[in-house]
Amino acid sequence: MVNILGINLSELSRVELLNQLDSFLNGESGHFLVTPNPEIILRAGLDEEYFYVLNSADIAIADGFGLVLAGLLRGQKIQRITGSDLTPLLLKKAEDEQIKTLIINWEGGLSKANDITETLKTKFPKLIFKVLDTQKKVNLSLEENNELNLFNPKLIFVTLGAPYQEKLISHELKNWPSVRLALAVGGSFDFLTNKVKRAPALMQNLGIEWLWRLISQPKRLKRIWQATVVFGLKVFKSTFIEPLLYRPSVAIMLYKKTPEGVKIAIVARTDDTSHWQIPQGGTDGESLEIAGKRETLEELGTDKLIIKKTFKNLHSYRFSKAGKENKSKVGYKGQRQGLFIAEFAGTDNDIKINYWNHSAWKWIGVDEITETVHPYRTEAIKKFLPKFIETVK
């Protein structure tokens, strides 16, 4: 795997990829493939669930020359295989092997269900397929899932665009018992239906399709700027600058007063259910007050709190494998933590942890927390507790 701004990308060659997909299609369980490009990776940096979904895919292939350059900058080779190239190859395979294929298509996109239907009938006349038009969303309705499962497809393409298509597959794949391979392919079918023309082969080979898109669609200037300049600067920073620095972050001590004493909220990690800790996250340039409120909402699903106090730079530590940090999301060598203390102003039903970070949560007594959190967190808790006790007494 090659990691670019936290997203793991496959190093498979085209032949290796096709062999792996053939294995999936002939397997006993469902798999999904995503095709990240620079724009998608930037979006994932702002959406924790999307970040998790991309990294939970069975295969992520690089769809963008900028990712190839980013890999070279890090001394790693990435094979670029676009969704637009992969889609017709799989459709041909499905036609030859009579694999039932379903396209979940965005009804507001350039290619309508009729466009796709007529194109596939012309280009792949023996293909057994169905097109299901839907809106941009991350879950299908009960009726849509029933229609899908009645057709009983083995191969699914989803064209809803980022981040909807990837999230929909991640959320729904378990509800599609017949499906062996689902792919998030963005606008790949727009090329098949000739709603959008691809750049000339020379520009594709030189990795300057972005220039073609800029010339043919000037309104995409902002998106192209993000995918080239902004992405390039972030990769440079992540590769050469962040490894020298500690990531500014905030640790959250959310508490409530009970007849048995003060209780503090702790969470168990999804990747290690025995790893308990207090919620935490990057400040992303925000003040501790703003970052603390945001992270509480993201991690615990609640904004029902009363801020009591914050403390800057109480604890610094290096990332380590033992700590199971999500270091892949950042290039920093470690974290420098401030502390956010707030009193919970809701009921327990108001707390809804996010599934991609946490598997469970609970209230713990002040005198129990040091022994309950993971040993990797003990040093930080010992530094935070005096400030916490001083604040809530």
What pLDDT, on the 0 to 100 scale, is given for residue 210? 64
What pLDDT, on a 0 to 100 scale, did the predictor assign at position 218?
75
Contacts of 280 (CB under 8 A, 6+ apart): 249, 250, 251, 252, 295, 299, 337
Residues 6+ apart with CB under 8 A from 390: none
* Under 8 Å between Cβ of 358 and 299: yes
Enumerate domains of the chain plus CATH numbers: 2-238 (no CATH), 246-392 (3.90.79.10)
pTM of the model: 0.88
What is the per-residue pLDDT for 329? 53
Q: What is the pLDDT of residue 393?
A: 83
Segment 248-268, tens digit of pLDDT: 999 999 999 999 999 999 999
What confidence score (pLDDT) does residue 41 get? 95
- Say what the pLDDT of residue 320 is: 74
Nearest to 101 by CA among 51, 61, 153: 153
pLDDT of residue 26: 95
Count of H helices and E strands in the chain?
16, 15
Q: Which regions in the chain score pLDDT beneath 70? A: 199, 203-215, 217, 321-330
In one letter, which amino acid is 88? Answer: P
CB count in 10 Å sphere of residue 339: 25
Q: Please give the Cα distance from 389 to 44 (Å, whole number).
A: 37
